[in-house]
Structure 1
């Protein structure tokens, strides 16, 4: 085996290993982010349900006849 071939093989193995390592590290990081993202989704779902309940209460208040009468009285 000539010296040039040996150098070429060493460079090829080094580059291949570096690429494999980078792909593996990226996959690990994505897995960490996806597990953390599940917690965020649960928090957002609970916040959305709370906000929906609050909107329902506000809709009831605004559409209530007593609110409309008080608004008319204040306008006079």
Structure 2
């Protein structure tokens, strides 16, 4: 094996291990973040469900005939 081939292989192996190491560290970081995102996602889903319930109650109040009459009286 010539010296040039040996240097080429050493550089190739070094760069290959560097790339693999970088990809693995990004993989671990992504897994760590996905766990945090799951907790936040569950919390946000609960908050959205609560807000939907509140909007439903508000819609019921606004579409109530008594509310409409009261609004018309106040506008006079």
Do the two structures share a fold, i.e. TM-score over 0.5? yes
Q: How does 1:1-76 map to 2 (within 5 A)?
A: 1-76=1-76
How far did 1:5 drift? 2.4
Supply the RMSD in Å over aligned alpha carbons: 1.3
C-alpha distance in 2 between matches for 1:21 and 1:72: 70
C-alpha distance in 2 between matches for 1:73 and 1:16: 78
Question: For structure 1, which runs of at least 5 residues remain unmatched after alignment?
Answer: none
